[in-house]
Amino acid sequence: MNSIQLLVERNNLYPIFLKTEQLQILIVGGGFVALEKMCFLLKSSPDTNVTLVAPFFRGETKEFAAMHNIQMIDDSYKKGYLKNKQIVIATTDSIDVNIQVYKDCKSKNILVNVADNPPYCDFFMGGIVTKGNVKIAISTNGKSPTTAKRLRQFFEDVIPEEIDDLVKNINKYRKTIKGNFEEKVKKLNEFTKSLVEK
């Protein structure tokens, strides 16, 4: 008897939360995609260090960069602009330029994201929900940014604003717990289990 095996894809990305104010980020490009990536970064982390390089900047991109004190370099991409950068996002209309950015970054061990080109990405910029100290990142493994956006909107609606008060209170409680690490974890698990009970 033949058995049918279903092939289920799995998202193997490892989510991390970066302190972007401690990193130097370069966005190559000056159009709508560059603006979108810049807005995404600054909405989540307002103190992010971003530099833009492009031979042309759209008006909206210029306005947003000026409002947020972001350095804009009016020039075509050159490998020298990667100096001291830890993260690079390529957003140009030229596939050749974007792939060159990718290759240059790989040669310097710099994390790179080529917008809308998953094979040329070390990371994806997923949907993010922020409620005070609580932050949730959503990834579709680069398959569907629209789905990530809809999930973000859903979680923004269903997670109450008061979640931040709860986090702060649990943090205060955690500081009062006596005992070793294992005992503290057990007490915190007991204290918070009602959050997930149905």
Quick one: 7 exposed, middle or buried, by C-beta within 10 A (0-12, 13-18, 19+)?
exposed
Residue 92 and residue 182 share a domain = no
The pLDDT tens digits for 24-72 are: 999 999 999 999 999 999 998 999 999 999 999 999 999 999 999 899 9
Residue 106 and residue 137 share a domain = no
Residue 92 and residue 51 share a domain = yes
Q: pLDDT over 90 for what percent of the chain? A: 59
- What was the pLDDT predicted at 114? 97
The pLDDT tens digits for 184-198 are: 888 888 877 777 665
* Range of the structural domain that residue 142 is part of: 126-159
Tell me, yes or no, whether 115 lies in a domain. Answer: yes
Residue 186 and residue 150 share a domain = no
Tell me, yes or no, whether 144 lies in a domain. Answer: yes
Kindly list the distances between the CA atom of residue 189 and the CA atoms of 134, 166, 170, in Å, as whole numbers in the listed order.
18, 14, 11
- What was the pLDDT predicted at 6? 60
Q: Are 170 and 192 in contact (CB under 8 A)?
A: yes
- What was the pLDDT predicted at 70? 94
Of 48, 117, 57, 44, the closest CA to residue 86 belongs to 48
Q: Which two tokens stand for residue 115?
A: 């917008």
Residue 119 and residue 47 share a domain = yes
Residue 154 and residue 67 share a domain = no
**CA–CA dist 185, 188 (Å, integer):** 5
Tell me, yes or no, whether 5 lies in a domain. Answer: no
Q: How far apart are the first and last CA of the chain?
A: 41
Residue 111 and residue 50 share a domain = yes
Report the number of distinct structural domains present in the chain: 3
**CA–CA dist 90, 114 (Å, integer):** 5
Residue 174 and residue 146 share a domain = no
Tell me, yes or no, whether 9 lies in a domain. Answer: no
Residue 155 and residue 104 share a domain = no
Residue 83 and residue 27 share a domain = yes
Q: Are 14 and 40 in contact (CB under 8 A)?
A: no
Q: Residue 164 pLDDT > 90, yes or no? A: no
Mean pLDDT, the chain, as a whole number? Answer: 90
- What was the pLDDT predicted at 23? 96
- What was the pLDDT predicted at 110? 98
Q: What would the mean pLDDT of 63-88 be, rounded to a whole number?
A: 96
Q: What would the mean pLDDT of 94-100 be, rounded to a whole number?
A: 97
Residue 24 and residue 106 share a domain = yes
Residue 130 and residue 188 share a domain = no
Tell me, yes or no, whether 81 lies in a domain. Answer: yes
Q: What would the mean pLDDT of 96-107 be, rounded to a whole number?
A: 98
Q: Residue 1 pLDDT > 50, yes or no? A: no
* 148 confidence band (pLDDT: 50, 70, 90): confident
Tell me, yes or no, whether 146 lies in a domain. Answer: yes
Tell me, yes or no, whether 10 lies in a domain. Answer: no
